[in-house]
């Protein structure tokens, strides 16, 4: 993933972030702000509004009014699609601004963002714009009664609260907002407090693309209070959440009284199985980037590597060599492969897991330390523990950082048993030259995604989501559009 482009974008200070409520940018009603930090320089990038509970209520009221009386839900699908296509075009045009924001805010390599994330985000708006243009309605006759006609309609749910995590903030917002808007809903977005910068730019794109006032609202500030208010609000119909399993459970509990529709995209501890008959060099590449892309701050990171014993030592040695050679650095530098951890709190948490690994029965074969670049930054070395077992803390808990336990296995049944021995069920992978074996095993692994001889493949067409404690509901694909609608049946007597 080392990019050859010579262009190195420059850091800049972004203007103070405001709230977008009913089409107007405004400060928090008490003027409070929070800082957002650059994990490479450990300096403040800018401040953003710390909304009050009253501001949340105003955003929900605006979204409700836009839903009840505005044009958006009543517009023909095709007219909505045209707006979504404009959103996609503006994302393409502003890709470099978005990439600078994400690189400075989250520490993601700038070029990965431009090359991989931005096309996907724009693609989500094109995909759901296109899907919305397909007929969503049906007409049937009753076989019980020749005089009865049934018209079925899919209608929007109403106000959707989109609550997003600190990692991949733009992509995980677009994967909610694109289908929700395509179906005719209105939105209140609450991004993570560590990485709000792209949310501000996306809200401006919505205005510039012609999304009507009140349809798209942005509030920023602490999830504990604002999130609770949003989730319990009687005028919010659906919560689309991506984040930790603990907060997801809390959201489901808080939404029960008002019977909220919820989709929950939660944590993972995804197993990657390398069999002895795999193309080992290719499998090592897949395993390395499966865990270390975006410094392991990826929900579907291949965070448990299971290797068949005959190739175990070879795989560990090759992976360790790659980890030692990995280029850590400024995410704005095109040569950088691994950027800094997104925040001090995450950095401290990941370091504790590294220490837990060091005092366990596993063996540290690469990394294990922290780094500074030019005397600053929250960098953690790509860290690999061999001789791990599935009962270790580093094998069971989601670390959400660049830490990989490698576990040996002896046969297919043992591999499946270890792979499924986790509370999570987000993603998995199988590396083998035997496609029939891979497909047989894919049936037996309890996870929402199975990658065969690859990892980190995404497309707006492919449903994405978890099994077990990794959540429920799907983003992407027709299933996602469906989840932002409700069915109505209209029965007519034509006798």
Binding residues for ligand NAP (CB under 6 A): 163-168, 172, 190-194, 222-224, 227-228, 231, 242-244, 247, 250-251, 265-268, 299, 398, 400, 426, 466, 470-471
195 CA to centre of own chain: 13
Active site residue 96: no
Minimum CB separation from ligand NAP for residue 419, in Å?
A: 18
d(CA 380, CA 398): 16
Active site residue 265: yes
Name which of 281 and 348 has its Cβ closer to ligand NAP: 348
Q: Which of 153, 152, 150, 174 is nearest to 162 (CA)?
A: 174
Q: Which of 247, 269, 242 is nearest to 397 (CA)?
A: 269
User: What is the secondary structure of 162-227 as a DSSP string?
Assistant: EE--SSSHHHHHHHHHHHHHHTT-EEEEE--TT--HHHHHHHHHHHHHTPPTTTEEE--S-IIIII
Kindly name the residue from 102, 121, 174, 265 that is annotated as catalytic.
265
Complete edge-to-edge strand list for the sheet that includes strand 427-431: 363-366, 383-386, 403-409, 304-308, 271-274, 427-431, 449-452
User: How does strand 363-366 pair with strand 383-386?
Assistant: antiparallel
Name which of 191 and 460 has its Cβ closer to ligand NAP: 191
Name which of 195 and 390 has its Cβ closer to ligand NAP: 195
Alpha helices (H) along 337-493: 344-358, 393-396, 412-420, 435-444, 477-482
Minimum CB separation from ligand NAP for residue 194, in Å?
A: 6
Three-class HEC string of 97-163:
HHHHHHHHHHCCCHHHHHHHHHHHHHHHHHHHHHHHHCCCCEEEECCCCCCEEEEEEEEECCEEEEE
Name which of 61 and 167 has its Cβ closer to ligand NAP: 167
Name which of 190 and 468 has its Cβ closer to ligand NAP: 190
Minimum CB separation from ligand NAP for residue 232, in Å?
A: 9
H/E stretch holding 486: strand 485-493
For residue 314, give both structure tokens: 């070879």
Minimum CB separation from ligand NAP for residue 153, in Å?
A: 30
Name which of 100 and 266 has its Cβ closer to ligand NAP: 266
27-31 own/partner pairs: CB under 8 Å, 24+ apart: 28/52, 28/55, 28/221, 29/54, 29/55
Minimum CB separation from ligand NAP for residue 13, in Å?
A: 22
For residue 246, give both structure tokens: 């603990």
Name which of 297 and 330 has its Cβ closer to ligand NAP: 297
Distance (Å) of CA 330 to CA 59, 82, 349, 361, 387: 37, 38, 21, 34, 32
- DSSP class of residue 368 equals -
Minimum CB separation from ligand NAP for residue 114, in Å?
A: 20
Name which of 173 and 383 has its Cβ closer to ligand NAP: 173
Minimum CB separation from ligand NAP for residue 470, in Å?
A: 6
Kindly name the residue from 121, 299, 346, 398 that is annotated as catalytic.
299
Minimum CB separation from ligand NAP for residue 162, in Å?
A: 10
d(CA 495, CA 484): 35
Q: Which of 377, 445, 369 is nearest to 403 (CA)?
A: 369
Give me the active site residues, please. Answer: 265, 299
């Amino acid at each position: 993933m080392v990019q050859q482009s010579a262009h190195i974008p420059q850091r800049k200070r972004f203007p103070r972030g405001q709230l977008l409520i009913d089409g107007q940018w405004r400060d928090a009603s008490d003027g409070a702000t929070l800082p957002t930090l650059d994990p490479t320089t450990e300096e403040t990038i800018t401040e953003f509004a710390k909304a009050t509970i009253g501001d949340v209520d105003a955003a929900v009221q605006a979204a409700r009014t836009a839903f009840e009386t505005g044009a958006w839900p009543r517009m023909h699908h095709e007219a909505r699609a045209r707006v979504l296509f404009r959103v996609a075009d503006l994302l393409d045009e502003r890709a470099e601004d978005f990439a600078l924001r994400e690189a400075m805010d989250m520490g993601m390599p700038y070029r990965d963002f431009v090359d991989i994330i931005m096309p996907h985000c724009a693609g989500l708006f094109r995909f759901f714009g296109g899907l919305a243009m397909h007929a969503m309605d049906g007409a049937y006759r009753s076989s019980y009664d020749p005089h009865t006609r049934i018209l079925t309609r899919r209608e929007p749910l109403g106000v959707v609260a989109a609550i997003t995590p600190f990692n991949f903030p733009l992509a995980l917002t677009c994967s909610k907002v694109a289908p929700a808007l395509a179906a005719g809903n209105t939105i209140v977005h609450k991004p993570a407090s560590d990485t709000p910068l792209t949310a501000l730019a996306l809200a401006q794109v919505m205005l510039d693309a012609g999304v009507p006032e009140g349809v798209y609202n942005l509030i920023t500030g602490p999830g504990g209070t604002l999130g609770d208010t949003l989730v319990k609000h009687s005028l919010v119909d659906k919560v689309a959440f991506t984040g930790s399993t603990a907060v997801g459970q809390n959201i489901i509990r808080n939404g029960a009284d008002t019977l909220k529709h919820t989709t929950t995209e939660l944590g993972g501890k995804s197993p990657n199985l390398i069999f002895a008959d795999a193309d080992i060099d290719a499998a090592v590449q897949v395993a390395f980037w499966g865990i270390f892309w975006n410094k392991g701050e990826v929900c579907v990171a291949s965070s448990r590597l299971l290797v068949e014993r005959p190739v175990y030592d070879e795989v560990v040695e090759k992976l360790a060599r790659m980890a030692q050679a990995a280029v850590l650095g400024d995410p704005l530098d095109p040569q950088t492969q691994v950027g800094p951890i997104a925040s001090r709190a995450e950095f401290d948490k990941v370091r504790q897991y590294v220490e837990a690994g060091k005092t366990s029965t596993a063996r540290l074969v690469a990394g294990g330390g922290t780094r500074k670049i030019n005397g600053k930054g929250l960098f953690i070395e790509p860290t690999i523990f061999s001789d791990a077992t599935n009962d270790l803390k580093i094998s069971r808990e989601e670390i959400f950082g660049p830490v990989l336990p490698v576990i040996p296995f002896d046969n297919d049944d043992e591999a499946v048993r270890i792979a499924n021995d986790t509370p999570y069920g987000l993603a998995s992978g199988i590396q083998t030259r035997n496609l029939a074996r891979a497909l047989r095993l894919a049936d037996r692994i309890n996870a929402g995604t199975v990658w065969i001889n690859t990892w980190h493949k995404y497309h707006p067409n492919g449903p994405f989501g978890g099994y077990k404690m990794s959540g429920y509901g799907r983003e992407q694909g027709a299933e996602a559009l469906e989840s932002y609608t409700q069915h109505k049946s209209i029965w007519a007597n034509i006798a």
